[in-house]
Amino acid sequence: MKILHLDSNHPLMIKELTKMGFDNTEDFKSTKAEVEAKIHEFDGIIIRSRFSIDKAFLDKATNLKFIGRVGAGLENIDVDYAEQKGIKLYNAPEGNRNAVSEHALGMLLSLFNKLRIAHDEVVNGQWRREANRGYELEGKTVGIIGYGNTGRAFARKLSGFDCEVLCYDILDEVGDQNAKQVSLQELKSKADVISLHTPQTPQTMGMINFEFINSMKKTFWFINTARGKSVVTEDLVDGLKSGKILGAGLDVLEYEKSSFEDMFTSSYQLPQAFHYLMKADNVLLSPHVAGWTFESHIKLAQTIVDKISGDFKTK
């Protein structure tokens, strides 16, 4: 069986798949059209986010048996059509859940304690103790929206901070010893912090908007390590300006490319709302790296290898 690798990944993936008897081909530069011209030769594809696997692509992949996506989400694949064609889909939310949850916690603690502002002031000769008085997580209520792999991992991290953790999910009975499952209305009425851990779906696109923000009972901090398009950035900025949102930690942005690559290289003029985020003292930004640790690089690859092995081991 032949596998086409369309993005670079940890070397263990090629090594392990070769040991299992697969014939591996790497192609990180060909255009989508060039790949479509030869995709019929392959039984499997391994991708990250370089381009979408849509209906037209899948129609040309006449021998395709599986797609491995080295990451948590499958939004760049036409899942329904792939499943109609009997193609197995593998993703790896287990591989970076710890990394994402640690990043979310780091962002939250940094916002609470104004670490970025304080650092910048000290290195510029300012010693402002009262202005940089922070908040404690103990006693706060953290609301987690989306209680899958990363949501659960984040709740586990919070278990030692003596805070109340609530979760909301579209599935029933997902709460556990680390988070009490509640309705979205109850979560909005109690939370001091909202942390987003949802996949990108039609239901989650733009879910953090003017209506959501202003239906929160309290002022709150907001963390997003999930998907940027789940947030209407202009509405988020309005919430920051009004004081309804006390601070925001954003690892993902509405304006990202679908490939998650550098959004500053495009001729596209970034909106004014993004420029506000870049300058705001109560905002932390990172370039979609929450799940991008040295350890998760290995775990993501191994997770995909293990899932393929369970169904297609050839030796």
94 is catalytic: no
Q: pTM surpassing 0.75?
A: yes
Share of residues in the chain with pLDDT > 90 (%):
90
Last residue of a domain, one of 91, 125, 148: 91
Residue 129 lies in a domain: yes
- Residue 297 gets which letter from DSSP? H
Length of the chain: 315
How much is the pLDDT for 226? Answer: 97
- Please check whether residues 73 and 134 belong to one and the same domain: no
At residue 296 the predicted structure's pLDDT band, cuts being 50, 70 and 90, is very high
- Please check whether residues 48 and 161 belong to one and the same domain: no
How much is the pLDDT for 227? Answer: 95
**Cβ(138)–Cβ(109) under 8 Å?**
no
5 is catalytic: no
For 117-136, write each residue's pLDDT tens digit.
999 999 999 999 999 999 99
For 146-157, write each residue's pLDDT tens digit.
999 999 999 999
For 217-269, write each residue's pLDDT tens digit.
999 999 999 999 999 999 999 999 999 999 999 999 999 877 667 777 766 67
- Please check whether residues 111 and 253 belong to one and the same domain: yes
Of residues 263 and 287, more confidence is placed in: 287
- Please check whether residues 64 and 136 belong to one and the same domain: no
> 270 pLDDT exceeds 70?
yes
Candidate list 103, 227, 254, 297, residue with the active-site label: 227
How much is the pLDDT for 173? Answer: 96
How much is the pLDDT for 80? Answer: 95
Alpha helices in the chain (DSSP H): 11-19, 32-38, 55-60, 79-84, 93-112, 115-123, 149-158, 184-190, 210-215, 233-242, 272-279, 294-312
Into how many domains does the chain fold?
2
At residue 313 the predicted structure's pLDDT band, cuts being 50, 70 and 90, is low
- Residue 70's closest CA among 312, 299, 253? 299
- Please check whether residues 76 and 174 belong to one and the same domain: no
Residue 67 lies in a domain: yes
- Please check whether residues 120 and 167 belong to one and the same domain: yes
Range of the domain at 49: 2-91
Candidate list 256, 261, 295, 297, residue with the active-site label: 256
Share of residues in the chain with pLDDT > 70 (%):
97
The residue with tokens 């086409």 is: 4
Q: Average model confidence (pLDDT) for the chain?
A: 95
> 89 pLDDT exceeds 90?
yes
How much is the pLDDT for 314? Answer: 56
288 is catalytic: yes
How much is the pLDDT for 124? Answer: 97
- Residue 130 gets which letter from DSSP? G
Last residue of a domain, one of 91, 117, 150: 91
Last residue of a domain, one of 76, 91, 106: 91
The residue with tokens 């290289």 is: 265
How much is the pLDDT for 258? Answer: 72
- Please check whether residues 49 and 117 belong to one and the same domain: no
**93-112 and 294-312 helices cross at what angle (nearest 10)?**
160
Residue 177 lies in a domain: yes
- Please check whether residues 152 and 111 belong to one and the same domain: yes
For 107-120, write each residue's pLDDT tens digit.
999 999 999 999 99
- Please check whether residues 75 and 203 belong to one and the same domain: no
Q: What is the CATH number of the domain that holds 65?
A: 3.40.50.720
- Residue 42's closest CA among 31, 27, 20? 27
- Please check whether residues 152 and 256 belong to one and the same domain: yes
- Please check whether residues 128 and 200 belong to one and the same domain: yes
The pair of structure tokens assigned to 313 is: 């081991």
How many CB atoms are closer than 10 A to CB 92? 24
For 160-196, write each residue's pLDDT tens digit.
999 999 999 999 999 999 999 999 999 999 999 999 9
The mean pLDDT value for 34-59 works out to 94
